[in-house]
Every structure is written in structure tokens, then in C-alpha cells.
Amino acid sequence: MGAELRRDDMEVAEEDISDSQAFRFVEHVLQSVRMDPFQVDLRDKEEYDSLLSIVDSSKKRSYDDEALLVTTLKALSEAVSKIDIMYHHALLNNIFTMSIWYLNSDTRDALLSLITRLAAVADQFLRECLQMLVNNFTPPGSLTAFIGQPRWLARKKEIYSQLHESLRMISDTVPLAPRMLKDIIDRSMPKLFDNKAKMVSFVECMLGLDNDRMGDLIGALLLAKVVDLLTELDVNITWEDILQDEHNKGIFDMELEDLGEDEDSLGQEGTKALFGGNACAEKLDSLMVVFCEHLKSCKEHGRLPQEFDILKTIFRASVLRVHKSKFAQFIMFYACSLDPEICGLEFALFLSDIFIKKEEDSISRMSAVSYVGSYLSRARFISADTVVGILKRLVDWCVDYCDLQNNIRITTKPINHQIFYASCQAVMYILCFRLRSIMDYPNLKAQLFNMPFGYILTHPLEPLKVCLPSIVDEFLRQAKAARLFNASVHSEFEDALESDLSKTFGGMNRLDMFFPFDPYLLKESDRYMRPNFEYWSMVKTTYNNYNSDVDDELVDLDAPEMNVGSLDDHVEIDLNSDDDLEYSMNKMSITPNRSFFHQIMANSDTGLTMPARIRPSVSPPS
């Protein structure tokens, strides 16, 4: 019955065995053991054991052994209808536990061809086939130390391409495959304490599926799982981890002023402000590189708008409300920088829409306005007209809120007006960074000067006393230099590092101190963010002499008449004490360290210059 080709025949050179001979032998062996084990002929049992040895997943192979394996795998592909899960369990186990990373290209092709054919056999092997392919997203542990070498990088690229093609073929053949693949990827995702090499390899291979038609089937899941992993790593990095080498300084060097004469330099000067050594941070850093490269590929292939639509939904569900996230949100920042006109504008509108909608919960609205304030301040690629357009939306909302409070009994407790104060602070924060640049465009300047800032800031809700003093002081200083207001006011809290009212604003989440796009601190992925990021040292303020001719002209500018109420007499802010203002601005986007600042003031007879280094904003432990 069947072929009489034996093990000895199979061990001759591969070219001496025709495909039909090999197929007849394998078919005979498979058929001969499809019965009760006690009824299997001993000779047939030996032949089946020989077949198992050829496809032994743990076996080290010589060149001849691998040639024999290729022939056998091709024969098995033709004989898949004879493979039975009940009688060929050992054979299937050898196949499904085989690592393609140790095989040469021809052997990988033969094995993956067998897997794709097995997956289509009445769906009975589908899950095992998909799991086998996903298992090979990462190299075996013994290879992780070498995977960064040029030879292995080339092989990795080839292996990923073969895995992607196999998964595409299975998905095209078996309608159930994409849904099952989602579940398998979900269960196989790297965990927080897996090693970095495994994480990076898995995510890199997984995101590769999103670059072609597989992305249309499971792209949303792939992106969501990666963002979840980024966020999980992110929240497990504490500022104590980051600042452990700087604890004696009391403030963390952030703004990289020491870039040399060229502030836009992308060199390595100043990178001492970035950090490493923390396991979660190093994993996150490498994964951010992978994700940014994926987004860049999407841009190059014209898929970024579709990808960005998915990312917005994921960001809304998984990142927006995570106030301890410090870096994961920068995937949105980088995506926007790749397409400022579409994605960049869309993100700003998306955030402001969440803020304005009454149907949204208060935490989401406060987070959204904090995000849009930080985003418009830091994104160098966002145009001034976009900034003014979003500012108008925020200011209009604040005016409506003030009008509403005028018609009801005002409760002055800041905790009852968190959204209002968050929006006021966002507006002032944006203008700290963007006011001077807006002044360069007469039409935008006119729009800005017609916004009723005076009405909002002198409202009985007193946002100037509730928002962070550092931001309030800097905003008012620039507003005075630009003559944004028609009156001067005097500060009643100029000596306070943080007012009591400000402390109550934000509650436990402290969204008053939430600046999501503070300077980026991850070493490797920093190169994607830095060219598009506005550091405080780069900001041209309305009072600094960046260009004496321009500033002399600016001083003489008269603010256009505003159709708003002038600032109330009972609220005054002294804008003449530059030293105090500059000192207070050292707190912008920071959690104040009282002992540090007091020590500075005690040891200095003069005020501080505007900080080019700003400590990151933080939230207290929940």
C-alpha cells in the first residue's frame, strides 16, 4: 500500500528525490498510522518516527538535514488532507513549535507554505497556525543579543515580510482568520516585565501588518494594543525615577538651553537633560522609535490620515484621562507634525470639541483643554491663524460661562468651576508662548485684541487668583508689553509661590498643573520630537529685545480699541517688579519646590532670568 520509499531513501541528496516520490512516501507514512496505535505495523511506526525526527523543532541541522527538511515540508504541504489531529498530534506539535528564525530562506518558505495550507483545512488547525506565526514575531531568547547586528537586521526584515505574507494569505483564504488573529495578538502582547528586545521585535512585526490590507481588517486593534502598552510603561515611570541623579539640584534641567549658538541644533549637546537607566523608560523609548517609524511609513505611503483617525479614537479612550502619562501622548504630537495642515489642525479641533461639549464628563473636558493649551504652545508646526482660531473658541466659551454665572448665584469655590479655570489657564499659557508671534500678523493681532480678555479675567470668579501664579505673571507681563489691555492691575498674590485658591483648583487630579506636552525626555526617540518642539528658550516674548528695531516699534504700538469692559479697579497687578515676575516664572509648568526657591532668593541679590529650563509638571500620587 502506498509508496515503498524508506528513510534510507529520504537521506540521499535532495536532488535525487522527486517531489512526487517524497509526496508518496509522506502520504503513505501519514496514512499508515491513522489507526489505533496498537494496530500500527512496527515498520510503519518506525517510518513515522523517522518523519518526526526530520521535522523535530529542537534539532540542530546540517546542510543536508535542512535540504531533507525542505523536501519533507513540501511533501507535507501536498498531503495536508491526510494529517489528522488525533493520530498525528506529535507531528503537528513539531511543526507548530518550530522557530523560523533558525531556518534559511528556502526552508522558511516551505514551512510557511505548509502553515498556510494547514490553516485552510476545514478550520481545524487555524488557531494553531495563527498562534505559530504570532509566536515567531519575536526571535528565540538565544538570538536577542545578536538581533541588532547588521546580518540579523537583514534577516529580521526578511522574516517579518514572510510572516506578513503568510498572515495575508490565510486571511484571504479563511474569513474567520482576522477575528481569530485579533484574539491571539491580544493574548500574546508583551507584558510590562518582558525584556526590551522581545517587546520591540513583537511590536515592530505587529505594526508591519498595519501597512497593507491587513491594516484595514485589524489595524485599529493593532494600534490600540501598542498604545495601551506605551501607556502602561509610561505610568510606571515616576518622576522620582527620572530625577534620581538630580535630587541635590532641586529642579530638573529641562529646556536644553545649552544647544550652542544654533537653538535649533539637533546635535547631542544638552542631551544630559534626557534620562535613561530606568527599565520602563528604556523600553518605552525604544517602542516610541518603532511607533514613530511606523507613522513615518504611513505618511510616505499616503495612509497617515486614515491612521490618524484611528489614533484619535484610541487617544480619546486610552490616553486623554491618564494624568500620569508623560510621553505616550507624543505619538499624537509626532503624527500631527508629519501633516500639520490636516492632522495638526484636526487634533486641535478634536480637543477643543471635547472641551466645549457639555455631554462630556468634567475630567475629560479639563484634560482636553489642558492638552490643547499645551499642544498649541509647544507645536512649532501649528500656524498662528490656527492658534488664534482655537483661542477664539476657548475665549467664547469662557465668556458664555461668565454670562451664565452672572445670571445665577455665583459660588466662588474654585472646585465648583474647575473647567472654567482650566480653560482660562490654557488661554494664558498659549499666549505666554504665542503672543509675540501673533503680533507679527496685523489681521490676527486685530482678532486677538478684540477678544474680551478683560471681561473674563476680572470676573468675580477671579481666575487670576486661582490659576498658577507663574503663568498668570508671565501672561500679564507680556500682555502689558503688547498693550493687550487698556488698564493696569496690581497683583495681590505676587509674593506667593502658589495661592491657596490655586491649590484647591483641580482637586486630587491637580489638572491645574497638567501640561501634557512638557519637554520630551526620552533619549532615542527625542530626535522625532525636538525639531517640531517649542522650548521656552526659543520663545520670543513681547518684552525681550530679540530685535531692537522690532521691539522699539512694538513699544510704540497702540492696542486697538476693545469693545469690552476695562479691568476692574479693585484687582490690580503690579507689572513693574520684573525681578519678582522672573522669579515666579521659574515655576512655569512645575511642581514648586519651596526650599529650593527660598534658597535661591536667599543667596541672590537680584531676580532670576526667565528660565530656559523648566521642571516637568506632575500629578501627586493618587
- Is residue 68 within 8 A of residue 54, CB to CB? The reply is yes
User: Rounded mean pLDDT of 183-210?
Assistant: 93
Summarised one tens digit per residue, pLDDT across range 58-95 is 888 888 889 999 999 999 999 998 998 888 999 999 99
CA atoms within 13 A on the CB side of 72: 27
Say whether pLDDT at 379 is over 70. Answer: yes
562 — pLDDT class (breaks 50, 70, 90) = very low
Specify burial of residue 407 (Cβ count, 10 A radius: 0-12, 13-18, 19+). Answer: exposed
271 vs 15 pLDDT, higher one:
15
Q: Please state, for a pLDDT cut of 90, what percent of the chain lies above it.
A: 52
**Cβ contacts of 330 within 8 Å, gap of 6 or more:** 288, 517, 520, 525, 529
274 — pLDDT class (breaks 50, 70, 90) = low
Minimum mean pLDDT range among 42-46, 380-384, 444-448:
42-46
pLDDT at site 44? 81
- Is residue 393 within 8 A of residue 450, CB to CB? The reply is no
Q: What is the average pLDDT score of the chain?
A: 78
Summarised one tens digit per residue, pLDDT across range 100-131 is 998 999 999 999 999 999 999 867 899 999 99
Say whether pLDDT at 244 is over 80. Answer: no
Q: What share of the chain is helix, strand, coil (3-state, %, to 5)?
A: 60, 0, 40
Q: Which residue stretches of 468-547 are H helix?
A: 469-482, 500-504, 526-529
CA atoms within 13 A on the CB side of 254: 27
pLDDT at site 177? 93
Say whether pLDDT at 590 is over 70. Answer: no
Say whether pLDDT at 340 is over 50. Answer: yes
Summarised one tens digit per residue, pLDDT across range 280-316 is 999 999 999 999 999 999 999 999 999 999 999 999 9
C-alpha cell at 291: 511607533
pLDDT at site 469? 87
pLDDT at site 22? 82
User: Rounded mean pLDDT of 562-578?
Assistant: 36
pLDDT at site 33? 84
Spatial distance between the Cα atoms of 438 and 454, rounded to a whole number of angstroms: 19
Q: How many other β-carbons are positioned within 10 Å of the β-carbon of residue 431?
A: 26
User: Rounded mean pLDDT of 602-622?
Assistant: 35
**Cβ contacts of 124 within 8 Å, gap of 6 or more:** 85
275 — pLDDT class (breaks 50, 70, 90) = low
Q: Please state, for a pLDDT cut of 70, what percent of the chain lies above it.
A: 73
Please indicate, yes or no, whether the overall pTM of this predicted structure exceeds 0.75: yes
pLDDT at site 245? 43
pLDDT at site 410? 67
pLDDT at site 168? 93
User: Rounded mean pLDDT of 507-536?
Assistant: 82
Summarised one tens digit per residue, pLDDT across range 210-241 is 876 677 788 899 999 999 999 999 999 876 65
Say whether pLDDT at 35 is over 90. Answer: no
Spatial distance between the Cα atoms of 366 and 511, rounded to a whole number of angstroms: 7
Say whether pLDDT at 565 is over 90. Answer: no
41 — pLDDT class (breaks 50, 70, 90) = confident
